[in-house]
Amino acid sequence: MSKKKILLYGFGTVGKGFYQIYQDKQSSEFELIGIIVKNLAKHSPVEVPIYQYGTEQEKSLFSQADIIIECTSNYTEGKDIVLSALENGKTVISASKKVLAENLNLILDTKEKHNAKLFYEAAAAASIPIFKVLNYHFSHENVRYFKGILNGTSNFILTKMETEGLSYGKALIQAQQLGYAEADPFSDVSGWDTAYKLVLLTFSASGTILNSHDLFIEGIENITFQDIYLAKNNGLRIKLLAHADLEKNIFFVCPAFVNNELANIDEAWNAIQIEYEYAKSQFYTGRGAGREATGSAIWGDLNLSQSLEKISQKPVSLIDTAEYHGYWFIRLHSPLETDLLYWNTAEVLTHNKIQNYYVVYAPLSRLKELKNKVKNAQIIQISDENTLKVFTKQTVSYSFQF
Ligand SMILES: NC(=O)c1ccc[n+]([C@@H]2O[C@H](COP(=O)([O-])OP(=O)(O)OC[C@H]3O[C@@H](n4cnc5c(N)ncnc54)[C@H](OP(=O)(O)O)[C@@H]3O)[C@@H](O)[C@H]2O)c1
């Protein structure tokens, strides 16, 4: 049997992770015919030829390849590589969550039209085979909701700030040195990386394609030691979470105070808590970023691509996300222009003037307005009754959705 020819685009953290496994496995099924990079001068020779993107050698290898592995850091070129591979009926394995999430409809259409195959296990929660679970094992299940820690860099930063007292900046540098952070860490810490993964997971869970630009997205950039200590002193931790309620069409990304199983997920680990209709609660955890975790996810896709003829997919639907009223802790780092007048009386549950935080009950649309007005406000979700009691110091009886 002739070996399937693979062409690898991108030789950074993910590409090198895949290459290391390729070297270790000495597979009789696959042959890596080349590696394509952006800037050839940066790379020392390896056992497989390396060429620069856009050259004749690249084009020639592209036409020979059966399988394209796309793990580049360039959004526009990454999108072109994925689309032209699908248009040529090739099997595509991509780690690029932004490319996939921002163009999901077009990419799926192209795949269908040209009878191509597409896999992207490395794009979210790297070592956790969550897309395989949702697409194959539980394709018959309705997912009620899921919540996830999906960004290794943010979780690493929050863990280091809490456990080692590292500053935000120092923790970010460590995450970059370990290969967890994106080339531009804005996407990690602003919550956008988590939002792209939320889009991909929602699609596998329900067939729904979300527009990431419609979502409320809050990151961790303005979290301070004050917030971390406030949480710690009250038996809580702060985690950046993707929230998806698939029954009510509520989707958002926001840090939350947690004291459940998600609270124990440290460093670059990811976790996903899912509620299925029949299988009920499940909890998945594993390494969410870095060379080996992503390389292993790509190798898993490669194996699956050879055994799966038809990829199951729930019927595609486009929806408008619904409004969600929730409880929020809001730390202001500069006075809010209109101060208390900004809020309707019913929205403010408590206001701590010394620490300059509010606890409010408000819809996501109000939070979007607030973020437009006060850029450095930090919003943290209060997702259960006991956490709300911590901040309001009173007996409360509310019904919580998330
Ligand atoms: N790092 C992670 O843990 C992780 C986890 C999951 C998903 N991802 C995703 O995987 C992708 C790659 O991430 P990474 O961390 O490996 O990035 P990286 O370390 O910055 O490496 C990116 C690689 O892409 C290459 N590249 C850029 N444009 C290219 C083009 N047009 N053709 C061929 N190669 C090109 C770069 O070439 P040069 O080396 O020549 O500059 C570099 O080798 C991104 O989409 C990222 O979001 C990363």
Question: What is the domain-level CATH number for residue 43?
Answer: 3.40.50.720
One domain for residues 97 and 175: no
One domain for residues 163 and 110: no
- pLDDT at site 165: 92
The finding on whether 197 has its CB within 6 A of some atom of ligand 1 is no
Tell me what the mean pLDDT of segment 312-318 comes to. Answer: 77
Q: Which residue among 7, 18, 52, 71 has the greatest number of ligand 1 atoms within 8 angstroms of its CB, and so is best to mutate?
A: 71
Closest CA to ligand 1's atom 43: 11
Q: Which of 204, 187, 120 is nearest to 152 (CA)?
A: 187
One domain for residues 339 and 266: no
- pLDDT at site 250: 96
Ligand 1 centroid distance, CA of 368 (Å)? 31
Query: 25 and 52 in contact (C-beta within 8 Å)?
Result: no
Q: Amino acid identity of 113?
A: K
- pLDDT at site 372: 85
Q: Does 268 score more than 60 pLDDT?
A: yes
How many Å apart are CA 348 and CA 360, to the nearest integer? 4
CATH number at residue 352: 3.30.70
One domain for residues 302 and 216: yes
- pLDDT at site 385: 87
One domain for residues 22 and 144: no
Domain membership flag for residue 398: no
Q: Atom of ligand 1 at shortest distance to CA of 96?
A: 45
* For helices 225-233 and 152-164, angle between their N-to-C axes, nearest 10 degrees: 70
Q: Which residue among 8, 13, 48 has the greatest number of ligand 1 atoms within 8 angstroms of its CB, and so is best to mutate?
A: 13
Give the residue from 87, 119, 151 where a domain finishes: 119
Domain count, the chain: 3
Closest CA to ligand 1's atom 29: 38
One domain for residues 250 and 305: yes
Q: What is the pTM of this model?
A: 0.95
- pLDDT at site 399: 59
Give the residue from 318, 345, 374 where a domain finishes: 318
Q: Does 357 score more than 90 pLDDT?
A: no
Domain membership flag for residue 400: no
The finding on whether 150 has its CB within 6 A of some atom of ligand 1 is no
- pLDDT at site 223: 93
335, with CB counted inside 10 A (0-12, 13-18, 19+), is exposed
Ligand 1 centroid distance, CA of 72 (Å)? 3
Domain membership flag for residue 399: no
The finding on whether 95 has its CB within 6 A of some atom of ligand 1 is yes
Higher pLDDT, 216 or 307: 216
Q: Atom of ligand 1 at shortest distance to CA of 42?
A: 40
One domain for residues 291 and 249: yes
One domain for residues 147 and 198: yes
Q: Percent of the chain having pLDDT more than 90?
A: 75
Please state whether beta strands 237-245 and 143-149 pair in parallel, antiparallel, or not at all (unpaired): antiparallel
- pLDDT at site 237: 96
One domain for residues 292 and 341: no
Ligand 1 centroid distance, CA of 384 (Å)? 39
One domain for residues 221 and 367: no
Domain membership flag for residue 397: no
Ligand 1 centroid distance, CA of 10 (Å)? 5
Both structure tokens of 64:
């020979």
The finding on whether 72 has its CB within 6 A of some atom of ligand 1 is yes
Query: 255 and 150 in contact (C-beta within 8 Å)?
Result: no
The finding on whether 9 has its CB within 6 A of some atom of ligand 1 is yes
CATH number at residue 184: 3.30.360.10
Tell me what the mean pLDDT of segment 118-126 comes to. Answer: 96
Of 9-18, 89-98, 373-382, the one with minimum mean pLDDT is 373-382
Q: Does 333 score more than 80 pLDDT?
A: no
Domain membership flag for residue 124: no
Closest CA to ligand 1's atom 23: 10
Higher pLDDT, 121 or 348: 121
Q: Does 339 score more than 70 pLDDT?
A: no
Q: Atom of ligand 1 at shortest distance to CA of 77?
A: 31
Three-state SS for 172?
helix
If pLDDT is split at 50, 70 and 90, which confidence band does 153 have? very high
How many Å apart are CA 272 and CA 348, to the nearest integer? 31
Q: Does 397 score more than 60 pLDDT?
A: no
- pLDDT at site 349: 86
The finding on whether 148 has its CB within 6 A of some atom of ligand 1 is no
What element of type H or E holds 117?
strand 117-119
The finding on whether 295 has its CB within 6 A of some atom of ligand 1 is no
How many Å apart are CA 145 and CA 161, to the nearest integer? 29
One domain for residues 168 and 284: yes
- pLDDT at site 336: 59
Give the residue from 98, 119, 140 where a domain finishes: 119
Distances (CA, A) of 214 to 192, 209, 365: 12, 12, 10
Q: Which domain holds residue 353?
A: 325-392
Domain membership flag for residue 278: yes
Q: Does 398 score more than 60 pLDDT?
A: no
- pLDDT at site 374: 81
Q: Where are the alpha helices (DSSP H) in 185-283?
A: 186-189, 192-206, 225-233
Domain membership flag for residue 78: yes
One domain for residues 40 and 78: yes
Q: Does 142 score more than 70 pLDDT?
A: yes
- pLDDT at site 134: 95
- pLDDT at site 309: 59
Both structure tokens of 305:
């691509």
Tell me what the mean pLDDT of segment 108-112 comes to. Answer: 95
Domain membership flag for residue 125: no
Ligand 1 centroid distance, CA of 178 (Å)? 15
Mean pLDDT (the chain) is 91
- pLDDT at site 307: 83
Higher pLDDT, 193 or 371: 193
